[in-house]
Homo-oligomer: A and B are copies of this chain.
């Protein structure tokens, strides 16, 4: 159904289980399109058009949409259908701050209760991430996707020893949200940070069981993405209602004629 920590099929590190139902499949495809920006923030999601594009019935698509509300990637109001959740700088600031709170707590718990096996998993994930970072070319999509996946895995493994299901659930929610913003910064931001150095320090501090230092590094790490977004032109981030409506209209026509 979803890989959220509160649900049962969540122990996969990299890839989720096979969707068993059309609703799940549509849910995953929609989520991907929203996070990757194929469906723009604030855009109206017309069931009539989308059902053709995703090859499912109207009711099925509606259910997938309802499911996406769980991740706060889709919003709905009364009798006026669904919209992609809008984005804004203030929202991203909120997400970032809250993520610092949640993820640091998760890391603290993980460091406190992690076993040797956990340390090994951290080292392994770090190593795989390092390899991906070595051959990372921002202009090549596949390379970027590989890094993205391994980065996610690394952060997940770091807090995998956190025993709290709710903390992990919130972490996933916020990470997924921030993914949307990171996409924007990756496509446009010209300042390549030394993420590798940050990962090194984070890995070291964690395995050394220095919770305070690890959290400090992690906080820095998370906040830097916020700074990268802050330098972007506001037009990319702000959800101008008029512009969004136009985008939604044109997009709908495109999907219609496909």
Contacts and interface: CB of A to CB of B under 8 A. Distances in A.
Contacts of A20: 78-79
Contacts of A170: 98, 170
A124 to B, nearest CB: 27
Interface residues of A, number: 36
A157 interface: no
Contact of A166 (B8, B59, B78, B94): B94
A67 B65 CA distance: 10
Nearest to A91: B165
A76 B1 contact: yes
Interface string A43-76: 0000000000000000100110011011010011
A63 B94 CA distance: 30
A184 interface: no
A164 interface: yes
A75 B105 contact: no
A167 interface: yes
